[in-house]
Every structure is written in C-alpha cells, then in structure tokens.
Amino acid sequence: MKNQFYQYIQNLQDRMTSTLEEVDGKEKFQEDIWERPEGGGGTTRVMTNGGIFEKGGVNISAVHGELPEVLRTQFGVEQGDFFACGLSLVLHPKSPMIPTVHANWRYFEMYDGNGKMVTQWFGGGQDLTPYYLFDEDVVHFHRVCKEACDRHDSNFYSMYKKSCDAYFWNAHRNEARGIGGLFFDYLKEEQGFTIQDRYDFVTEIGDSFLRSYIPIVERTRGLTYTQAHRDWQEVRRGRYVEFNLIHDRGTLFGLKTNGRIESILMSLPPKVQWRYHHHPKEGSEEAKLIRVLTHPRDGICTC
C-alpha cells in the first residue's frame, strides 16, 4: 500500500504542477529535492511571482524511521517505527478575488519493535479561503467535494465537511479560516471498509481537486481590484498565518519532528499585514465575509 500510494502522489504532483503552470501562464515551479537525515525525504515544488499565483507549493514527501517522541507520546507506545507519505498543496493567488486553497492527503504506517505493521491509515482534505465571497464559487467547491464523497459513502460529505469546519477554526479569533471543504483522519480498515476502499476514496478526492479549484480561478481571474482589496487580502492572510502557526497540527508536528522547515512553512503567504483592531465597515463586502466566517452555517453550500 505504501508504494501504491506514494506512486499515486508522485503522479498527482506531476499532474498538478503541469496544470497549474498552464493556468498560471507565466511562471514554472522550481523543484527542490531534499533528504531527511533520519530517513526519507521529499520533492518540494514552489512557484513565486506567477501571473496568477503569487506563491504556491505542491510538495510530496515520504519519511520513515524511529517514531519521534511526540508520536510515541501521542500513540502511547514505548518504541516503534513509522512510515508516512503525503502531498501538501497551498496556493496563494495574487488577486484578492481568487481564493487561497490548501490540500493535503497522506498515508501513515506504524510498526512494533519487531518491524511488524501494527496500524495504517489515511488522512487529509482540502479547504478554500476566499477574501471576497462569491456564493457560486463556494457552492462549486463544495459540490465537487460532495460528488467525490458520494461515490463512496453517502455519509462522508456531511461528516468530513463538519470535521473541516471544526478543524480550520481560529479559536483565538472565534472565526473560521475559510469556507471549509473536507477534513478526515485515521481512515483505517474498519466498519466494512478495507484499506483498499480507503485508498480508492482518498485518491478519488485527490483526483477531484483540480476540478474543484481551477474553474474558480478561471471565473475570478479577470476581475479587477484596487489596493484596498489587496490590503484586505493581506490582513486576512495574517489570519491564515495565525492558524498555521498556532493551531495547525501538521505544521506543529513538522516543527517538532525536525521536518524540512522551508517545505513546512512554504504554506505561509508571501505578503501579510497586521493592523491593530481592524474591522471592516458595516454592510461592506469585507463585513459579509466576516459574518460568514464567524457564523459557519451548513447552508452555505446549497448543493
């Protein structure tokens, strides 16, 4: 399974970066191949100052070795080895009219002291972070997520959408990071699902990603914007940084386990502002976004 999934994400990385380069039309991804001293490594592909994407990364990694202390504590085991691989993607468009998007799909195996696999699971998801709210984009993103989920289980979409809203919650601001998507973890062989069923589901989600995001880029890329729109985007990007550095388990896990710092923090936006006590004017488009993020509602997606 680990080889099967790693081949899948290698192939997915290629498909994604070539499509995103086509969409961008100006810049190419730059590739860095890195090794982890304790075992494994990855391929980081980053685009900077593109026509559409001000900063974006599509990274894969496959790491293995002794379970780091933070995981031994988390799983309550005294020793053991692990294997983990995954693809992580963050795209920060230049235009504040185009939403930021994040996705991550991963696979994990854990072994006992004798090298016998004791557990394996998939995790991941994708979520959209708009700076200006266009209902049709939100509906489109969720509809693609739902259709991919529905091909596997009619409960998945509503379960993983709820998990996504709960996970990408900036608790210290009492607001959502964005308008959600999917979030799932510890998808194991259980309750009538084989590990191959889990693989089929996660790869279906991965395959659906470009269909969920690219049409939004194509629809919004021609919209004009002013410096005021851009300032708002940079202020909201500050909330993105706050989430990733304060709350995101993946980021904090990477920092605690001696991950490659540049690949982990690739997710941070290129230009960011923090303004003291910044609040948009009542009735503005900016206030409309805040209202939705502070009152997440199942109803935002009518699909």
**Residue 294's CB: how many other CB atoms inside 10 A?**
11
Q: Which of 114, 117, 122 is nearest to 160 (CA)?
A: 122
Per-residue binding string, its own copies, 145-184, x by CB under 8 A, is ---------------------------xx-----------
**CB of residue 259 to its own copies, shortest distance in Å:** 9
Nearer to its own copies among residue 26 and residue 271 (C-beta): 271
- Copy the structure tokens of residue 29: 């991804």
Q: Please give the size of the binding site for its own copies, defined by CB under 8 A.
A: 29
Q: Are 177 and 240 in contact (CB under 8 A)?
A: yes
Which of 22, 276, 281, 297 touches its own copies by CB under 8 A? 276
**CB of residue 264 to its own copies, shortest distance in Å:** 8
Per-residue binding string, its own copies, 46-75, x by CB under 8 A, is x-x------x-x------------------
Burial letters 80-116, b for 16+ CB under 10 A, else e? bbbbbbbbbbbbbbbbbbbbbbbbbbbbbbbbeeeee
Q: Are 63 and 41 in contact (CB under 8 A)?
A: yes
Please report whether residue 270 would count as binding its own copies according to CB under 8 A. yes
Beta bridge partners of 41: 35, 62
Contact stretch for its own copies (CB under 8 A) within 83-91, 141-149, 200-208, 263-271 = 263-271
Q: Which residues bind its own copies (CB under 8 A)?
A: 32, 46, 48, 55, 57, 172-173, 234, 238, 241-242, 245-246, 252, 255, 261-262, 265-266, 268-277
Catalytic site residues?
Answer: 102
